[in-house]
Amino acid sequence: MLAADLFLRKPPMTTPPAAAEPRLTSLSHGGGCGCKIAPGVLTEILRGASAMPVPPELLVGIETSDDAAVYQLNDEQALVATTDFFMPIVDDPFDFGRIAATNALSDVYAMGGKPILALALVGMPIAVLSTATIGRVLEGGASVCRAAGIPIAGGHSIDSVEAIYGLVALGLVHPQRVRRNAGAKPGDLLVLGKPLGVGVMSAALKKGALGAEGYDRMIATTTKLNTPGPDLAALDAVHALTDVTGFALAGHALEMARGSGHDVELDWAAVPLLPGVRSLAGQGFVTGASGRNWASYGAEVALPEGFAAEDRALLTDPQTSGGLLTACTPEALDAVLAIFREHGFGEAAVVGRVVPAAGPAPRLRVR
């Protein structure tokens, strides 16, 4: 659509003053990447979809549930195309816009690409929210795109029941530098770029149980662009990349296992967590998406005896704008960690490894 379509083409109407507006999160049945359709349900839906012709230029499609589509333009360039949008995970409209935009751009970085432009996707309850509030959401998204060095070149807007915001994100990558979630090899180490716990924090926030310090940490991690992606993809020893979002660490590690045909083994004690989230999970601040995730893929996960309920909740915790999960050779580990540090991801940590499949189908093993 034309850039002008971002403006709400509605007859003039009265909107409530900002002080009378409801909390953004109160307008959503779910927030952030916790809004995703559960992986098992999504698989069932897609099973009935008709097969479509696949041109040879389509380097990455839907076959391994990867982060974005990749279409080769020429010998030097391939187009990375993705979209992501969701309902509010926070009440501050500017922060909501920032988080949604950061999350959408992450899929370009996760393929090894660099963003080149974005289109805004805007659905807002016009009779409930003021134009000033809606404008702040868009400003938040625009601020992230400026930080990424790209324009928002257009978009589309509708009047909807729930507040929705996100982006179509386009990027470029060299065809030989495309990194999928399907290339991991036995012996590879897994490095996670961001700590877990965003879903737990969002559940606590919605119930008024997240303090100012916790909120600041949540915003800091969810608005941090996954800029290490292209530099990681430039290393031949990096065999696979994905970002951890709505299907949680367990779900996205499983996608990596399925795509490679090998098992993934996680060292749970080494997985970085946001401060305080294990305690919050133990108090019951867990999203509904966490349970839906486990119901969808729990049969493919081997947990150690006595694995605590709060740990399982974090293993399946939906991450909004989560970190990159990188599979690399042990020899490349120092270079991979150095790239993360250079981009400001000092908490990046080795969280597991890829091992030969122990059964007829790839699994996730947690120890």
Q: CA separation (Å) from 354 to 168, 265, 327? A: 32, 6, 8
Side chain identity at 35, as an amino acid letter?
A: C
Beta partners for residue 156, in sequence order: 121
H/E element, 14:
none
- Residue 267 assigned ligand-binding role: no
Q: CA separation (Å) from 317 to 175, 218, 293, 296, 304? A: 33, 14, 8, 13, 18
CA nearest neighbour of 66 among 236, 154, 174, 184:
184
- Residue 67 assigned ligand-binding role: yes
- Residue 321 assigned ligand-binding role: no
Q: Which positions ≥6 away from 356 have C-beta within 8 Å?
A: 186, 262, 263
Q: How many residues does the chain have?
A: 367
CB atoms within 10 A of CB 12: 5
- Residue 155 assigned ligand-binding role: yes
CA contacts within 13 A on the Cβ side of 169:
32
Asked if residues 74 and 17 have their Cβ atoms less than 8 Å apart, the reply is no
CB atoms within 10 A of CB 60: 22
- Residue 36 assigned ligand-binding role: yes
User: Which one of 33, 35, 145, 328 is the catalytic residue?
Assistant: 33
- Residue 31 assigned ligand-binding role: no
Asked if residues 206 and 30 have their Cβ atoms less than 8 Å apart, the reply is no
- SS3 percent helix, strand, coil of the chain, rounded to 5, is 40, 20, 40
Q: CA separation (Å) from 204 to 236, 240, 334, 362? A: 41, 33, 36, 34
Say whether 301 sits in a helix, a strand or coil. Answer: strand
Please work out, in degrees rounded to the nearest 5, the angle formed at the alpha carbon of residue 173 by the alpha carbons of 122 and 189.
Answer: 100
- Residue 10 assigned ligand-binding role: no
CA nearest neighbour of 137 among 13, 27, 261:
27
- Residue 156 assigned ligand-binding role: yes
Asked if residues 241 and 112 have their Cβ atoms less than 8 Å apart, the reply is yes
- Residue 66 assigned ligand-binding role: yes
Is 145 part of the annotated catalytic residue set?
A: no
- Residue 194 assigned ligand-binding role: no
Distance, CA of 266 to CA of 263 (rounded, Å)? 10
- Residue 236 assigned ligand-binding role: no
Residues making up the annotated binding site for ATP are: 36, 64-66, 84, 107, 155-157
Residues making up the annotated binding site for Mg(2+) are: 67, 107, 243
Residues making up the annotated binding site are: 36, 64-67, 84, 107, 155-157, 243
Which residues belong to the active site?
33
